[in-house]
Structure 1
Amino acid sequence: MFDMIAMPFFNIILLFGIGIFGTLFWIWMLIDCITKETDRSNERLIWIIVIVFTHLLGAILYFILRKNKRNR
């Protein structure tokens, strides 16, 4: 009986944690783009638009495609 009651509670906590992590990651990538991206041919503006309108997917794309290349 306890397992049936506790399971939805843990699912809600897990989904809430994933949502908070995703939002914090999105904010981190947006701030990183605004402060550290070069403004060559409007790349900064394009990345800001991509990150803002695609939320987590745009932040992940920015992290994979831009941030890692810039760190090398």
Structure 2
Amino acid sequence: MNFNTGGGLVGLLILIGDIWAIINILQSGASTGAKLLWILLVVLLPLLGLIIWFVAGPKSSTS
């Protein structure tokens, strides 16, 4: 059986979102420890971590 649900495309979009989030975390004004914790959250829980970061994560230091 072939359940072609487009999982590869969804996974690629999540990966792109996670990379974007990590770049923004590194550019934020948060402390090094906070940056490390956010990055770990995004890496260990890719979709959930991305959503949590988007809602509550450190904001970029540039306006």
TM over 0.5: yes
How many residues of Structure 1 are paired with residues of Structure 2 in the alignment?
59
| Structure 1 unmatched runs, 5+ | 1-7
RMSD (Å) for aligned C-alpha atoms? 2.3
Mapped partners of 1:63, 1:37: distance in 2: 15
* Structure 2: 5+ residue stretches without partners: none
In the superposition, the TM-score normalised over structure 2's length comes to 0.69
Q: Percent identity?
A: 25
Please list every run of at least 4 consecutive aligned residues from structure 1 whose deviation after the TM superposition is greater than 4 angstroms. none
Structure label with greater radius of gyration: 1
What TM-score do you get using the length of structure 1 for normalisation?
0.62
Q: Which is bigger in relative contact order (C-alpha 8 A, separation at least 6)?
A: 2
Q: Which has the higher helix share?
A: 1
